[in-house]
A and B are shown apart, each in its own frame.
Chain A
Amino acid sequence: MEMLNVKDLTIKFGGLVAVDHLNFNVKKGEIVSLIGPNGAGKTTVFNLLTGLYTPTEGSIVFEGKELSGMRSQDIVKLGIARTFQNIRVYTKLRVVENIMVGSHIHTDYNMLDAIFRTKRFYQQEKEKYEAAMAFLESMHFAEKADMYAGSLPYADMRRLEILRAMASNAKLLLLDEPAAGMNPQESEELVQFISKIAREDGYTILLIEHDMNVVMNVADRIYVLDYGKLIADGLPAEIKTNPKVIRAYLGGNQ
């Protein structure tokens, strides 16, 4: 069963067609990778999926619901959360608070509860805090719970950003270059981490990545974009040898 189904997705900025009649799908529990040279329109696809841009044409269907035209906030509530190319954790909040921000949309006491410190307030704050701590525990991150996100090492910040996205109870995670700037050992750990959350914790993952080692190791299927168009798709082994892909990456005549 397809979780996400993208049909003829197109967006134009002025005369530039950034994404051009793109079709792809993601099935539940899969790790799908979106690759392509710089400027191929990968991040634009994420921006379309998360409602930052409204598509000029085409449809995005997530679990039977049409997403195009929806606000970002409502899309998150349906269960799609993302990370960013340049890390965007809340550096001046503690790790556990970052996670609690992730569960913000499931915290539903109102202002009067907060001001008068009603039972509902205490209950929910406690619940969310304990859930956040348990979650961090299960991800081997608990010892860093009280650190400010800004003081974490680089790779941990990237990981925290993924954790924060998971904490929103997302079913589909969109990871934008999670391995960027990591050394080989760190990206190896990241591969393990991503595989684990997909295989064991049941998250579905769509990721953009430049590090081919990461992509080949982790992805079930790959879509290749160039100039906003889909030029190839298939299993990692097929993509590796696809002449079109090699040409897109290395340049050369058509």
Chain B
Amino acid sequence: MKNKKQVNRLNKFETFVSKNKVLLVLLGLAVLIIAPFVVPNDYFMRVLCVILMYCTFGFGLNILLGEMGLMSLGQAGFVGAGAFTTAVLLTTLKWNFIPATLCGALVAAILGLIIGLPTLRLHGSYLAIVTIGFGEIMRTIFLNWTSVTGGPRGIKSIPRPSLFGLEFNYANKGFYFLIVLTTILVGLFCAALHKSKYGRAFATIKQDELAATLMGIETTRYKVIGFMLSAAISGLMGGYYAMMQRYIDSNSFISDMSVMIVSCLVIGGAGTLRGPVLGAILLVSFPEIFRDLQDYRFVFYGLIMIIMMVVRPAGLLGWDSTLPYQLPRSLSERRMKSLKKVQEKGDTD
């Protein structure tokens, strides 16, 4: 149980954050912009990209696990579907990367629909196991559909994304900024969804699906939407994953990846967007920092998962906001409000 003191401290922190929102956003952007110029080499650049990718994968899973409480241990299947679709479109059909990644997202979303529909009646462990199964089935397909996925040989020399002849790569930092942009857009998308009737409907499904049904909420529809969105986000970033690795095969998308995605979200704090950000930073950079402990890396992952669940199951950054409910306001309304404030100030002066 949270005690009062903690709540007070949290409240202060949150008030500070909400008051200085603009400043903090600018600060965050500054860090994201400066980061690639500070890292010593392409290797670290790649680490930054991987962090951002897992961040996005986390956003995707958050819609299922965080918002609706539906466990998916098969996210790698969606990532893989997006990655292979993008890779095929880029290599054999020589598409531009924008429609290619979007198609990747679409294919993943369709898979989300296919896996979402039969699992609607399943909960908890049953759902988790079926999603594991989905991941395994996807891997089998990647391995055996040789004419498309290259089978055991995989797909080689996937081109970097390019636009109007300009290639986005590590050297010109273009690839990094492309991923930053995508991550931010996905994050904004999830935030917008959360603070709308969709977010509320998701929350009712997580907390009490039966009561939600009896409030007239079309739970089935929202669950399918959730599955499709989660899959689409994973598939979209999967496309970038393919372009980053430049080589993918069925072994790129094993259940380790799914577990890693779940860990990022849960350790950071499921149900929040700040959670996967921190989770991805910690879990991706951890093995890079402790390279000597490479062998023990997964032992530590496991230990962290256990300790987190026992000590802080809500995740490091998982807390319920203590601030009063904030109505989403359009920019013009906000400007009006701040103008009013200034005027009032002028009046009292």
State yes or no: do A and B touch (Cβ within 8 Å). Answer: yes
Across-interface contacts of A72 in B (CB, < 8 A): 213-214, 216
For the complex, give the distance between the alpha carbons of A244 and B324 in Å. 53
Total A-B contacts with CB atoms under 8 angstroms apart: 97
Residues on B lying within 8 angstroms of A by beta carbon are 189, 192-193, 196-198, 200-201, 203-204, 207-208, 210-218, 225, 320, 324-325, 327-330, 333
Across-interface contacts of B211 in A (CB, < 8 A): 84, 88, 90
Contact of A101 among B198, B215, B218, B327 (CB under 8 A): B215
Known: A90-B203, A104-B217, A164-B215. Contact between A114 and B196, CB under 8 A? yes
Residue from the set B196, B197, B212, B320 with the largest chain A CB neighbour count within 10 Å: B197
* 6 further A-B pairs in the complex, CB-CB below 8 A; given A114-B193, A164-B215: A72-B213, A90-B208, A93-B204, A104-B201, A104-B217, A105-B216
Contact of A114 among B197, B218, B324 (CB under 8 A): B197
Residue of A nearest to B193 (CB): A114
Across-interface contacts of A77 in B (CB, < 8 A): 216
B246 → chain A closest CB, angstroms: 32
Indicate if the CB atoms of B215 and A105 lie closer than 8 Å: yes
Residue of A nearest to B190 (CB): A115
Contact of A117 among B192, B201, B320, B324 (CB under 8 A): B192
A73 at the interface (CB under 8 A from B): yes
A146 at the interface (CB under 8 A from B): yes
Residues on A lying within 8 angstroms of B by beta carbon are 50, 52, 72-73, 76-77, 81-82, 84, 88, 90-94, 96-97, 100-102, 104-105, 107, 109, 111, 114-115, 117, 119, 121-122, 125-126, 129, 145-146, 148, 164, 168
For the complex, give the distance between the alpha carbons of A93 and B200 in Å. 8
Indicate if the CB atoms of B214 and A122 lie closer than 8 Å: no
Known: A81-B214, A88-B208. Contact between A101 and B200, CB under 8 A? yes
Residue of B nearest to A167 (CB): B215
Across-interface contacts of B198 in A (CB, < 8 A): 111, 114
Indicate if the CB atoms of B329 and A122 lie closer than 8 Å: yes
Residue of A nearest to B206 (CB): A92
Across-interface contacts of B201 in A (CB, < 8 A): 101, 104
Indicate if the CB atoms of B333 and A122 lie closer than 8 Å: yes
Residue of B nearest to A130 (CB): B327
Closest 3 CB pairs of A and B: A76-B216, A114-B196, A146-B324
Contact of B203 among A50, A93, A164 (CB under 8 A): A93
Across-interface contacts of A82 in B (CB, < 8 A): 214
Indicate if the CB atoms of B327 and A125 lie closer than 8 Å: yes
Known: A114-B193, A145-B325. Contact between A104 and B214, CB under 8 A? no
Known: A122-B330, A126-B327. Contact between A102 and B215, CB under 8 A? yes
Across-interface contacts of B192 in A (CB, < 8 A): 114-115, 117
For the complex, give the distance between the alpha carbons of A15 and B207 in Å. 34
Indicate if the CB atoms of B330 and A97 lie closer than 8 Å: no
For the complex, give the distance between the alpha carbons of A4 and B198 in Å. 33
For the complex, give the distance between the alpha carbons of A28 and B214 in Å. 22
Across-interface contacts of B218 in A (CB, < 8 A): 73
A99 → chain B closest CB, angstroms: 10
Across-interface contacts of B204 in A (CB, < 8 A): 90, 93, 101
Residue of A nearest to B332 (CB): A122
For the complex, give the distance between the alpha carbons of A65 and B114 in Å. 35
For the complex, give the distance between the alpha carbons of A126 and B327 in Å. 7
Known: A97-B200, A107-B197. Contact between A73 and B210, CB under 8 A? no
Across-interface contacts of B225 in A (CB, < 8 A): 111
A172 → chain B closest CB, angstroms: 13
For the complex, give the distance between the alpha carbons of A97 and B217 in Å. 14
B250 → chain A closest CB, angstroms: 33
Across-interface contacts of B214 in A (CB, < 8 A): 50, 52, 72, 76, 81-82
Across-interface contacts of A50 in B (CB, < 8 A): 214
A205 → chain B closest CB, angstroms: 17
Indicate if the CB atoms of B215 and A109 lie closer than 8 Å: no
Indicate if the CB atoms of A88 and B210 lie closer than 8 Å: yes
Contact of B216 among A73, A97, A117 (CB under 8 A): A73
Across-interface contacts of A117 in B (CB, < 8 A): 192, 328, 330
